[in-house]
Amino acid sequence: MNHPFKKHPLALPFTIASAIVLTGCQLNDDSPDNDTSTTTTARDAGTSDASVLFADADTLLTHQTNATSLTLYYSADGAMRYNPDTQQVENATASVESILATRDNWQQSLPHLQGDVKGFDFDFVTANIALKQWLKGQLLAIAKDGDTVLTATDVQPARALDALYAEQAETLTYGATPNAGQTEFRLWAPTAQQVSLVPYQSASEEDAQKQRQTPIKMDFDAESGSWHVATTALNHGDYYRYQLSVYHPATHRIERLEVTDPYSHSLSTNSTYSQVVDLNAPALKPSGWDALGAPHSQQNPTNSVIYEAHVRDFSALDQSTPKNLRGKYLAFTQNTTEPVNHLKTLAQSGVTHLHLLPVFDIASINEEAAQRIDLTDHFSTLCDKAPSLKETPRLASECGNNQTIQATLTDLATQRQC
């Protein structure tokens, strides 16, 4: 049987979506009853992308401009699937159909889709459907022309979430906020079915292995789509993560995940754990911090003259910077080094702002000092940390030399040119 499903402008490949959503997550396998495999099974024909999207909380759009109806299906447990042979949706908890083509109100906010899609209005209230609850589960849409299935696809919910929650959500403070002997935690996760706060303890800040404590249940705020709890169990300096039960479109399952806080002010080595930080804590303030004023007016950004510097490259190879500070943030605090003197010269020349980058975690870089490699290290050190190099024909012979990594790579490049 041939199925007339094709790619189109509304489609969102889930190989991309899963890479975005799963980054920084780990599956929690503490419960023997909870199968948390991340293996993605073969997807059913017609549901390999999300080609129906919410334009708002009442309107769904499809690229099938010949469609005469659009049916939205919901599964609370993620067990729903479309059978292309029978052209039926199996294991759905509920469904709602619309044959009412929408007015063009949505086009003002989505002008780039005009003429390419068709909208359908849904009256979820009259149908006695709690859309907020549906958005916590699996959604699938079927567009038909009469009795003919034109497309069967997953659904993009983002604009419905905005319409339902954004106004109230924008008024709240997120992350960990220490206040009067307790800490408030708030996470915006409107599609999560359950969220808990998981404290982690360690003997010291340097101890990478932290002990998982009893999770603390968080309460869902149906007006903002956020989860909240206030507790005395965690204070300034303590570590934590969030445990979520959430439907994941890449695996078509309810997954149980442990993730760091997207609103973290601080994280542990390699961003494994979030850390509660009170930005007003005296220990975090350099001398004179409270009295510090901006050296230039910030009222008119067009008057700014910005110099961009890479945190590591600023001092990594500079001999005037103390060796233990090279490539580090503290290199910017050295008043007499050549890089800092260069900044002073730039300031005298009219530069007003310094833009540092990157100042966020880079997932591909291991922050453990014992696992780091510099170009000035011996190539044999690289081989010890990456044993597979000893089995590589072109590089195995280099593992025993006393040259630096930089010198070895230069020699290899020269040999290749020859």
Nearest Cα to 73, choosing from 6, 83, 63? 83
Question: What is the chain's alpha carbon radius of gyration, rounded to the nearest angstrom?
Answer: 27
Question: pLDDT class for 208, splitting at 50, 70, 90?
Answer: low
Site of tokens 């910030």: 298
Would the pLDDT of 69 be above 50? yes
pLDDT of residue 207: 60
CA–CA separation, 205 and 183 (whole Å): 19
Would the pLDDT of 29 be above 60? no
Cβ atoms within 10 Å of 132's Cβ, excluding its own: 19
The string of pLDDT tens digits covering residues 215-268 is: 999 999 999 999 999 999 999 999 999 999 999 998 999 999 999 999 999 999
Site of tokens 């039926």: 88
Q: Which domains does the chain have, with CATH numbers?
A: 14-163 (2.60.40.1130), 172-283 (2.60.40.10), 293-357 (no CATH), 373-417 (no CATH)
Would the pLDDT of 31 be above 70? no
Is 192 within 8 Å of 136 (Cβ atoms)?
Answer: yes
CA–CA separation, 47 and 65 (whole Å): 18
Q: For 331, phi and psi rounded to 5 degrees?
A: -65, -25
Would the pLDDT of 313 be above 60? yes
DSSP assignment, residue 48? S
CA–CA separation, 113 and 384 (whole Å): 55
CA–CA separation, 156 and 119 (whole Å): 14
DSSP assignment, residue 3? -
CA–CA separation, 107 and 112 (whole Å): 8
Helix, strand, or coil (residue 133): helix
Helix, strand, or coil (residue 216): strand
Element (H, E) at 165: helix 158-169
Q: For 326, phi and psi rounded to 5 degrees?
A: -65, 130
Would you state the structure tokens that stand for residue 350, as one six-digit string? 């009219």
Bridge partners of 199, per DSSP, are 240
Q: Is 217 exposed, middle or buried (0-12, 13-18, 19+ CB in 10 A)?
A: exposed
DSSP assignment, residue 57? S
Helix, strand, or coil (residue 332): helix
Is 121 within 8 Å of 14 (Cβ atoms)?
Answer: no
The string of pLDDT tens digits covering residues 95-123 is: 999 999 887 778 888 888 887 899 999 99
pLDDT of residue 11: 55
Nearest Cα to 230, choosing from 240, 218, 243? 218
CA–CA separation, 253 and 274 (whole Å): 26
Mean pLDDT of the chain: 87
Top-confidence range, 1-10, 11-20, 52-61? 52-61
